[in-house]
Structure 1
Amino acid sequence: MKITLFLLFLVAVCFGIAQMMVHDSGYVLIAYDRFSLEGSVWSFLLAAVLLIAGYKIITWGFRLLAGSISLAYPMTQKSKRRRAQRQSAKGLIQFANGHWKAAQKLLAHAAESGQAPLLNYLAAARAAHENGDYDACSDYLRKADASAPGADIAIGLTQAELLLARGRLEQALATLKRLRKRSPKHTYVNKLLKQVYLRLHDWQALAELLPTLRKLKVISSDEFDSLNQQAYKALFEQAYQQGKGQSDIEERIRPAEAIWQKLSKAQKKEDYLFYDFVSCLTRLGAEKQAEAVMRRHLSDLYSERIIRLYGQIEGEDKERQLLGAEKLLDERPNDAELFLTLGRLCINNKLWGKAREYLEASLRLRKQADTYNELGQLLAQLGEHEKSTEFFRQGLSMTVALQE
């Protein structure tokens, strides 16, 4: 119905125009200088309509031609960008699937086409590394640096990670030191430095780095304690190796004392560091120096390992050494390890009765093979061979049980 009405309206309009043309064709004159153009109004209107239609047709034709060329030869910036985006996406998919060679090629092409060049060059470098193409890996990193001069931290971290993976520890260390100088509080830079120092066994550098790692919350408190203990145990072992060949006692213990003196006040309050220090002195044959240091700190740095070691070494003044340990009885009246140490020190001072009392008190608190053996030796010396044999038997039984 609507179409019919529209057609009737169109016929009526055409009929009206035809009547107007018959009734009066009109007259138009265009003159300029010696040029003139004249005709009816309707002829000029028809010419205008034809000109507009011709312009539209030509414009449409050019657009159609340009579109055809664009489809055949993707040379426009838009098509290049889309192609680069597709290459980047495909490259990342290939990378995720472990197809390193294909990923390297696609990502490199995407970067060269201007699609996120930094990210694609870095990803291409990783793919080249996994593919074993280390020259290309280095080349991509250089191109990444050229494409984004301000991204040296991101590029440096990628380089350090790849060097670490290849076992190029010294080169990785140099890169990370440069990055840390630029950004001292960068979490990941410091974390990678920790890994490098561990793998290089650079315990001094690791020990110096650990407070920063804890402050930046790169490691937990438990990991800090574990790494700190590992680093200083290794450092004191190095000090032992350096000093053991020296004939002069002062020269022998100098490396260990140097480590101890460099510790902060807080570190010197850690019982495990104190134990490593005095244990090192003892192994170096400096028992008198170790005993003097231990006696001053027995109360505030007490541990079972420390008090046990205290009873196994011989100080310059045996009586003073015993008195130093007995001062702890008021604080620790039920400490089996302390009673064992007191028993040993009484034996050194030839206080046989007192030694027996301390050792028997230790046994009542805790059954230990060492205590049985000490009592066995003491009673054998006192002529109580039957009891001595029984203590030796029980000590041996406990030792065998622990080994099974």
Structure 2
Amino acid sequence: MKRLFLLLLLTLVVGAWAGQMMVTDAGYVLLAYNYTTVETTLWVFIVGVLLAFILLHLMLNLLFNLRLPGGRFRLWRSASRQRSARKKTLQGLLALSEGDWQKAQRTLTRSAADADMPIINLIAAAKAAQENGDATGADDLLKKAQQAMPEASLAISLTQAQIQVSRGQLEAALANLLKLRRKQPNNKQILNLLVEVCSQLHDWQGIADILPQLRRNKVMTADRLARLEQETLLHLLKKQRIPAAGAPLEPEQQVRHLQSLWVTFPETASRYDEVVAEYVDQLMAVQGYKPAETLLRQRLEQRWSETLAPLYGLLKSDKPRKLYQQAQHWLSQHEQSPGLYLTLARLAAQCSLWSEAVGFYERSLEIEANLQVCGELARLLEQLEQPERATQVRDQTFRQMTEGLPNLPTPQPALNAAE
């Protein structure tokens, strides 16, 4: 509407100016060729030229649009328009890669009608429109693409899902992708987008459901898949810490619930120290010490872990000496493990072997300074009525942990400052 108004206004202004010029001076034009001359006013000559141009344009259009078999003009014009469309398509795609969204949208849209593959122009133009902030234009272009090539519905729907993700329409994108996944369950692009959307929605169960397909179809690198799997399993486990609605479960029921969840995890779950540690910690929190001990023992015998070793010392048992003997068995293979000495100290304390517990705590601190180990040892020494030794342990551990501090200026003693 605004353009029409401006056009009418411009026409009125030009018309008024031309009328004024005609009244002021009609002008004079003389055309001569051999012995023939034509005289007329300037304004009649201009009008004649415009009419001749319009007539010539109409005649050429009629000539080029003749549908005669093998019509050269029609074929020439079609080829010319295709060449022009290819050139503009290339310009539009270059503008898209350079981030010139407005130029890309305009060029690709205008060349779509004559392009060899208009679907490419329309999809690329829709992406440019979305980046340019023209949401309505992007939706319209995708509709045109669907009409132009219905058999390309997968590519169009994928583009639509990508646009929905960029707009933050995650639920709509998820519904779109789940529908596509039913048709193309092994499509890597669909699976990648599903991971992205589910991660943003914190739908960790959704990611867990497609982990086998991600691995089977090699959608991502092994390292990235391992990080994703570990993160997903950790979130699913930590979700169990949130109290469920209704009456709380008995400890035995909670243990069975955790075990049933663990069974659903892939076999690779036991490879991740953080996942095993979270599962064992939750089992111990609900007194599931027996399954926790079995898993920890098997895992530590298969592959040693400084993350998991200290947890073995937190297990509770009617026969703590059996656990203590198991930990001593590992000592021959892991003599420099601070986590194992911490476990031995904890289990020795459960067996009331106080002097051995102190010795193991001290050995753990010798290998690696650790505030938690220092705190446990100092507490035990105070309970054994050795407060001075407890203070000495704290000071020594503090000095060990602060050896790497930068050398900074320190204030002079107050006595020297007074002088």
Q: Is the 8 Å Cα contact of residues 239 and 255 (structure 1) preserved in structure 2? A: no
The answer for the alignment partner of 1:174 in structure 2 is 175
CA distance in 1, matches of 2:235, 2:339: 27
1:107 pairs with 2:108: yes
| CA contact 2:177–2:194 (8 Å) conserved in 1 | yes
Change in CA separation of 1:148 and 1:72 when aligned onto 2, cut-off 3 Å: closer
Contact 2:255 2:283 in 1 (8 A): yes
Task: Specify the code of the residue in structure 2 equivalent to 1:343.
Answer: A
**Secondary structure in 1 aligned to 2:279?**
helix
Aligned partner of 1:134 in structure 2 is: 135
Aligned equivalent of 1:185: 186
SS of residue in 2 equivalent to 1:312: coil
Higher mean C-alpha deviation, range 66-75 or range 284-293: 66-75
Change (3 A) 1:228 1:95: closer
Contact 2:252 2:286 in 1 (8 A): no
| Secondary structure, aligned partner of 1:327 | helix
The question of whether the paired residues in 2 share the 8 Å contact of 1:243 and 1:284 is answered with: no
CA displacement at 1:264 relative to structure 2? 3.2
> Cα deviation per residue 1:176-200 (whole Å; 9 max; x = unaligned)?
2232222222222222222112111
Change (3 A) 1:222 1:92: closer
The C-alpha deviation readout for 1:35-71, integer Å capped at 9, x for no partner, is xxxxxxxxxxxxxxxxxxxxxxxxxxxxxx9999548
Question: Please, what TM-score do these two structures have when normalized by structure 1?
Answer: 0.72
The answer as to whether partners of 1:346 and 1:352 remain within 8 angstroms in 2 is yes
Alignment partner, residue 275 of structure 1: 277
2:69 alignment counterpart: none
Between the aligned partners of 1:90 and 1:176, the Cα distance in structure 2 is 31
The reply to whether residue 156 of structure 1 matches residue 178 of structure 2 is no
Q: CA deviation at 1:148?
A: 1.9
Corresponding residue number in structure 1 for 2:32 = none
Alpha-carbon offset, residue 348 of structure 1: 2.0
Aligned residue in 2 for 1:198: 199
What letter corresponds to residue 223 of structure 1 in structure 2?
A: R
Aligned residues: 340
Counterparts in 2 of 1:243 and 1:335: CA distance versus 1, 3 Å: farther
Unmatched runs of 5 consecutive residues or more in structure 1: 1-64
What is the CA distance between 1:238 and its match in structure 2? 0.4
Deviations 1:221-261 (A, max 9, x none): 22122111111111111011146982521343454323211
Q: Using the TM superposition, name which of 99-108 and 65-74 deviates more.
A: 65-74
> Structure 2 counterpart of 1:268, which letter?
S
Q: Is the 8 A contact 1:295 1:321 kept in 2?
A: no
Deviation at 1:97, TM superposition (A): 5.1
Q: Contact 1:271–1:302 (CA<8 Å) still a contact in 2?
A: no
- CA distance 1:70–1:401, shift in 2 (3 Å): farther
Percentage identity across aligned positions? 31
**Cα offset, 1:220, TM superposition:** 1.8
What code does the residue aligned with 2:343 have? Answer: T
Which runs of structure 2 are paired with 1:254-293 in the superposition (5 Å)? Answer: 254-284=256-286, 286=288, 290-291=292-293, 293=295
Q: Which residue of 1 aligns with 2:330?
A: 328
| Paired residue type of 2:344 | L
**Equivalent residue for 2:316?**
314
**CA pair 80-379 structure 1, distance change in 2 beyond 3 A:** closer
Structure 2-normalised TM-score?
0.70
- Taking the aligned partners of 2:64 and 2:405, their CA distance within structure 1 comes to 78
Larger radius of gyration: 1
Contact 1:292-1:315 within 8 A present in 2 as well: no
2:330 aligned counterpart, secondary structure: coil
Q: Is the 8 A contact 2:230 2:272 kept in 1?
A: no
2:377 corresponds to 1:375: yes
What's the counterpart of residue 354 of structure 1?
A: 356
* Distance change in 2, residues 1:97/1:264 (3 Å): closer
Secondary structure at 1:160 match in 2: helix
For residues 201 and 250 of structure 1, the distance between their equivalents in structure 2, rounded to whole angstroms, comes to 29
Report the Cα distance in structure 1 between the residues aligned to 2:289 and 2:338, rounded to whole angstroms.
Answer: 23
Q: Does 2:109 match 1:116? A: no
Distance (Å, rounded) in 2 between the aligned partners of 1:391 and 1:285: 33
Give the deviation of 1:315 after TM superposition. Answer: 3.7
Secondary structure of the 1:246 match is coil
Change in 2 beyond 3 A, CA 1:272/1:368: closer
Residue 301 of structure 2 corresponds to residue 299 of structure 1: yes
8 Å contact from structure 2 (residues 348, 354) kept in 1: yes
Q: Which amino acid aligns with 1:215?
A: R
SS at match of 1:328: helix
Find the aligned partners of 1:293 and 1:91 in 2 and give their Cα distance.
59
Deviation at 1:73, TM superposition (A): 8.5
Give the letter aligned to residue 386 of structure 1: E
Letter in 1 for 2:166: A
Equivalent AA in structure 1 for residue 241 of structure 2: Y
C-alpha distance in 1 between matches for 2:226 and 2:300: 21
- Contact 1:246–1:252 at 8 Å: present in 2 too? no
Contact 1:312 1:344 in 2 (8 A): yes
Amino acid at match of 1:227: L
